[in-house]
Amino acid sequence: MSGVGVTSGRRLLARRPRFERRAEAGGSSPQGDRTTDVQGNAPGEVQGDVRRDIRGYAPMVIVADVAAGLVATALCLGPLATSAGIDPSFAVDAAVAIVAFVVVTALRGGYRSQTLASRVVRRDTLTTTVSVVAVLGAAAAATSLTVHLLTLVVVLPAVVVVGYVARSYVRWRVRSAYREGVGVRRVLAVGRAADIDQLVAQLSESTSHAFVVVGACLDGDDPAEPGIPVVGKLPADDEGADPLESSTAVEAVVAAVESSGAQVVCFSDRGALGSDHLRALRWALADRGVAVMSSVGLNEVAPARAGFVVAGRATLVRVDPVRLRGPAMWIKRGLDPVVATFLAVAASPLLLGIALAVKLSSPGPVFFTQTRVGADGSRFTMVKFRTMVTGAHAMRMELEAQNEHDGGPMFKMADDPRVTRVGRALRRTSLDELPQLFNVIAGQMSLVGPRPALPEEVDRYRSPERRRLRVQPGMTGLWQVSGRSSLSWAETVRLDLYYVDNWCLALDVRLMWRTVEAVLRGTGAH
């Protein structure tokens, strides 16, 4: 068996739907009543009450959208309406705007549970608002409807803000339900053992999604075994057989679906079946209410960058390039020193208090300075509060054998004897990094970015790792909110490359928000 598959398969299979756990405990069979699944697709074999907890989220969001619009309209038509000279006819186009928002959102699939559980829905809410404004403009041009300014500056923004809060809450609830095994979809992975193991490992990194792999249908020519149960194998089809009429490969997949109770078939190997066979399989599975997906090899790509393009008879997957130049990056570089200056001034009493504590706790300077590598390989002097005894760098060679970092050029020890008592507290809360605000003000660092690397680390970089140097290093980033010192070198590189490849202003905002939570928890800091 593949080592990756064994570990990851167990992690995923541990998060089985509640109806399976009930069946094992002597309850009803998992092959229970047919109900509509959480994504609103065709029914699958699930226990009747499994999805009760998440079925009412869409109506709740619709009520939130409508209520926000009605409350905003009522406030505009309230006691201040007369003094402000508000025309009561404003209520008509406000009602049209509310109805249009709900209808457009529904047509775009914005009330489906799968969509509500996605981050993309937040961006789609703004897109829907623009569409509603266009609808109001068209209605005003075609009829006697007058679009009042209050509709655009009060009612619609109220719907967007309240809707954003409601959708954020629903996303949290749905993802929590998925982690508990509620509403998840059983997946049959089809392909070669190594590809299936990789798919399982990637899915098992998080359980806050709707998919759990319950079985594998292997390529018949593959002698390897994955780390999950094998429920079928793909045989070679008879030569000359019409794949749209008869295919032993299609029959094998259908049989594996029926034996595993899968609701989704995912191809981890795009060459497992030919296009004609895949088309025949889609037809066969559609009759059974089973969806088909494919792992297209576009890992570490943010959903906002991907989409489908139809060209002729071909359906292609499009991945937009990340824009590390242009207006968005100008905004980032303009905001960084402004925000850093504000934070430095606001935190000045804390900075002075920490400086005094460091000075009194052990002999040596207050600040620790070190050469780090910035954007495009430029070098700068990074400043932090000193957390180690004087001469700590010279002691590293003696401790090299105790390096606990999993691969790569970084050095980390959970109980590093060089760290002072005050320094340990500063590291746990990340307060030792506050002086880096001055590096941000000087334009050497950013508030958000990859971890600033040492020159000796960069000297050992391979080509993929050098891609981290395309942007300025940051005080915080994906590495900071995902485990910090507890991350392996490979995980650190992967997170930094994900940031570089998918950068946008919204990602920076999310990471700064998550940094507060990570610092309060103190996870992975030492």
Where along the chain do its domains lie? 3-11+20-36+183-297, 55-178, 327-521
- Given a cut of 50, is residue 251 above it in pLDDT? yes
With tokens 């109805």, the residue in question is 99
Q: Is the pLDDT of residue 150 over 60?
A: yes
pLDDT value, residue 185: 85
Residues paired with 186 in a beta bridge: 212
Q: What is the pLDDT of residue 84?
A: 53
Between the alpha carbon of residue 12 and those of residues 39, 209, 211, 496, the distances in Å are: 20, 11, 9, 25
DSSP assigned state of 398:
H
Confidence of residue 332 (pLDDT cuts 50, 70, 90): very high
pLDDT of residue 344: 94
- pLDDT of 76 strictly over 90: no
Provide the whole-model pTM.
0.65
- For helices 90-107 and 156-179, the axis angle rounded to 10 degrees is 30
Q: Is there a contact between 30 and 202 (Cβ–Cβ < 8 Å)?
A: no
Are the beta carbons of 54 and 37 closer than 8 angstroms?
no
Query: Which of 99-108, 128-137, 154-163, 428-437 tops mean pLDDT?
Result: 428-437
**In this model, does residue 131 exceed pLDDT 60?**
yes
Nearest partner of 105 among 92, 121, 89, 83, judged by Cα: 121
Q: Is the pLDDT of residue 80 over 60?
A: no
Given a contact cutoff of 8 angstroms between Cβ atoms, the answer to whether 290 and 262 are in contact is yes
Amino acid type, 345 = V
* pLDDT at site 391: 67
pLDDT at 337: 95
Residues 363-403 have pLDDT tens digits of: 889 999 999 999 989 999 999 999 887 766 666 666 665 55
Amino acid identity, residue 210? A
Distance in angstroms (rounded) separating the CA atoms of residues 10 and 308: 33
Q: Where in 63-107 does DSSP place strands (E)?
A: none
Residue 451: φ, ψ to 5°? -65, 135
Given a cut of 90, is residue 228 above it in pLDDT? no
Residue 342 is predicted with a pLDDT of: 95
Helix (H) or strand (E) holding 113: helix 113-116
pLDDT digits (tens, 9 = 90+) for 47-67: 333 344 456 778 888 888 889
C-beta separation of 134 from 83 below 8 A: no
Q: Give the tokens for residue 77.
A: 């038509």
- With 60 as the cut, is the pLDDT of residue 304 above it? yes
Residue 396 has a pLDDT of 62
Nearest residue to 501 via CA among 308, 377, 323, 316: 323
Pick the range with the lowest mean pLDDT from 7-11, 212-216, 342-346: 7-11
Q: What is the mean pLDDT of residues 289-306?
A: 78
Task: Average the pLDDT over 4-29 and give the result.
Answer: 37
Residue 192 has pLDDT above 70, yes or no: yes
The pair phi, psi for residue 521, each rounded to 5°, is: -75, -35
pLDDT at 195: 85
Q: What is the DSSP letter of 467?
A: G
In the predicted model, what is the mean pLDDT of residues 8-37?
35
The residue that leads in pLDDT, 268 or 233, is: 233
Token representation of residue 67: 């209520």
* pLDDT class of 12 with cuts at 50, 70, 90: very low
pLDDT at residue 236, as a whole number: 58
H helices within 467-504, ranges in order?
478-481, 489-501
Q: pLDDT: is 337 or 112 the higher one?
A: 337
Q: Which of 371, 326, 375 is nearest to 473 (CA)?
A: 375
Element (H, E) at 379: strand 379-385
Question: Does residue 473 surpass a pLDDT of 90?
Answer: yes
User: Which DSSP state fits 151?
Assistant: I
**Which residue, 526, 319, 287, is CA-closest to 426?**
526
Across the range 485-511, mean pLDDT stands at 83
pLDDT value at 175 more than 70: yes
Confidence band, pLDDT 50/70/90 cuts, at residue 419:
confident
Q: How confident is the model at residue 10 (pLDDT cuts 50, 70, 90)?
A: very low
The angle subtended at Cα 50 by Cα 49 and Cα 53, nearest 5°, is: 90
417: which 2 tokens?
A: 């004897």
Neighbour tally for 37: CB within 10 Å: 23
Q: What's the maximum distance between 2 C-alpha atoms anywhere in the chain? A: 85
Q: Residue range 489-512: average pLDDT?
A: 86
Higher pLDDT, 237 or 199: 199
Q: What pLDDT sits at residue 20? A: 41
Residue 201 has pLDDT above 70, yes or no: yes
Q: What is the CATH number of domain 3-11+20-36+183-297?
A: 3.40.50
Q: How many Å apart are CA 349 and CA 355, to the nearest integer?
A: 10
Mean of pLDDT values over 91-101: 83
Question: Tokens in use for 84?
Answer: 């402000």
- Which pLDDT band holds residue 18 (cuts at 50, 70, 90)? very low
Residue 9 has pLDDT above 50, yes or no: no
Q: Is the pLDDT of residue 36 over 90?
A: no
For strands 367-373 and 474-476, give the pairing: unpaired
Contact status, residue 371 vs residue 379, Cβ threshold 8 Å: yes
Q: Which two tokens stand for residue 193?
A: 């053992």
Query: Where would I find the H helices in 410-488?
Result: 421-429, 436-441, 455-459, 478-481
- Residue given tokens 């981890």 in the structure block: 268
For residues 211 and 493, give the distance between their C-alpha atoms in angstroms, rounded to a whole number. Answer: 26
